[in-house]
Amino acid sequence: MPTTRGPTKRGPTKRLPTKRLPLLPAERALKVISGRWKAVILYHLFDGPRRLSVLKTLVPDITQKVLIQQLREMEEHGLVRREIFAEIPSRVEYSATRLGLSLEPILLALCEWGQHHADELNEMNRLANCIIRPRQARQPAIA
């Protein structure tokens, strides 16, 4: 029977050194969230911790290599936390940090602006639905 000793966390002292980021704050923000899949991965982590296999299922078009690379970059930039549970077999979960969760309204605003941009250029028919929605719209109504 597997034994659980509890999660082990990488604290700030063990964080990988952040690559040199731009000095201009807007450019820094764009660099940290850039990447085709980061917003999609974060969206799925906004609701709570997820295992790698679950993330791969939720984002089927991403390769496992790219998924791991994007998660590592977000971990390096403090957006995602990786927890390794001392179990047999071991279990790893990814979750959004407080800093990562603070991106939710920003990603929503970017989604809305993208819709506005497509509307202005008469390209709404080419647009996919936004997956970023306000938290209260994603929670089921309590009867």
What pLDDT sits at residue 50?
A: 97
What pLDDT sits at residue 59?
A: 93
Please indicate, yes or no, if residue 58 is contained in any of the structural domains. Answer: yes
What pLDDT sits at residue 72?
A: 96
Q: What is the DSSP letter of 89?
A: S
Across the chain, which has 143 residues, the per-10-residue mean pLDDT values are 45 54 92 93 94 95 96 96 90 96 93 92 87 59 46
What pLDDT sits at residue 87?
A: 87
Please indicate, yes or no, if residue 94 is contained in any of the structural domains. Answer: yes
Domain that residue 106 falls in: 25-126
Under a CB-based contact definition with an 8 Å cutoff, are residues 108 and 102 in contact? Answer: no
Question: What is the distance between the terminal CA atoms of the chain, rounded to a whole angstrom?
Answer: 40
Question: How far from the centroid of its chain's Cα atoms is residue 100's Cα?
Answer: 7
What pLDDT sits at residue 136?
A: 57
| Residue 67's CATH number | 1.10.10.10
Give the residue from 110, 140, 139, 142 showing the smallest Cα distance to 46: 139
What pLDDT sits at residue 11?
A: 45
What pLDDT sits at residue 123?
A: 93
Cβ burial, residue 1 (10 Å; 0-12/13-18/19+): exposed
What pLDDT sits at residue 133?
A: 67
Please indicate, yes or no, if residue 143 is contained in any of the structural domains. Answer: no
What pLDDT sits at residue 90?
A: 85
Q: Where are the alpha helices (DSSP H) in the chain?
A: 25-33, 38-45, 52-58, 64-76, 98-101, 104-120, 135-138
Please indicate, yes or no, if residue 9 is contained in any of the structural domains. Answer: no
State the total domains in the chain: 1
Please indicate, yes or no, if residue 135 is contained in any of the structural domains. Answer: no
